[in-house]
Homo-oligomer: A and B are copies of this chain.
């Protein structure tokens, strides 16, 4: 095998292994997040609503705008 091939091969393996390590860390954090939701559920909180809260807090302005439009449409449809 040529020297360059062997270098590329080591480099390829190194990249794959770095990605795999980071993917493992990401998955571990994902599992931790699931555990927090489970703990919250055990304390009587609604997990779907908690997830909505987390999302709303990422972009409160868009949420406010969407809610205003929703209210308008619901009112137009006599839903309120």
Contacts and interface: CB of A to CB of B under 8 A. Distances in A.
B12 A54 contact: no
Q: Count copies of this chain in the complex.
A: 2
Q: SS class of chain A's interface: helix, strand, loop or mixed?
A: helix
Given A26-B33, A29-B29, A40 B54 contact: no
Interface string A33-69: 1001101100101000010011001000000000000
A36 B15 contact: yes
A contact residues, range:
20 to 34
Interface of A: 11-12, 15-16, 18-20, 22-23, 25-26, 29-30, 32-33, 36-37, 39-40, 43, 45, 50, 53-54, 57
